[in-house]
């Protein structure tokens, strides 16, 4: 298992295919919060640390493809309405 303390601000997050998913804003509990500036949907998105396959240098690699991770942001976000926060796994909270 990956030590979440190794995941820090401004790290690049990529899928298992090496494609860009986003940039780490910070770790909140068991979720990685991605910056909205580098987000495919213009929102803060969250990824469960359970989806992290490895941390190497300044790169966090997920156990799923970038396309799959990003699709989960859109799926979760569409359930919550426009302007919501998307999460790649776990419960959706916040306002």
Mention every residue, 6+ apart, whose C-beta is less than 8 A from residue 31: 46, 47, 48, 49, 87, 90
All structural domains of the chain with their residue ranges: 4-82
Distance (Å, whole) CA 55 – CA 42: 25
Quick: pLDDT tens for 4-39. Answer: 899 999 999 999 999 999 999 999 999 999 999 988
CA distance 44 to 54: 22
Q: What pLDDT score was predicted for residue 49?
A: 93
Instruction: Take residue 53 and report the two structure tokens written for it.
Output: 């396959």
Task: Write down the architecture of domain 4-82 according to CATH.
Answer: Roll (2.30)
- Global pTM reads 0.78
Q: Between 85 and 38, name the one with better pLDDT.
A: 38
Tens digits of residue pLDDT in 62-76: 999 999 999 887 655
Sign of CA dihedral 23, 27, 80, 72: positive
């Amino acid at each position: 298992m990956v030590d979440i303390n190794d995941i820090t601000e401004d790290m690049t997050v990529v899928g298992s295919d090496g494609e860009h998913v986003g940039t780490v804003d910070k770790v909140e509990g068991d979720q990685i919060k991605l910056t909205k500036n580098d987000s495919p949907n213009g929102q803060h998105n969250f990824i469960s640390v359970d989806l992290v396959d490895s941390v190497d240098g300044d790169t966090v690699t997920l156990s799923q493809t970038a396309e799959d991770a990003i699709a989960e942001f859109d799926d979760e976000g569409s359930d919550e309405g426009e302007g919501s926060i998307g999460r790649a796994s776990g419960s959706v909270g916040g306002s």
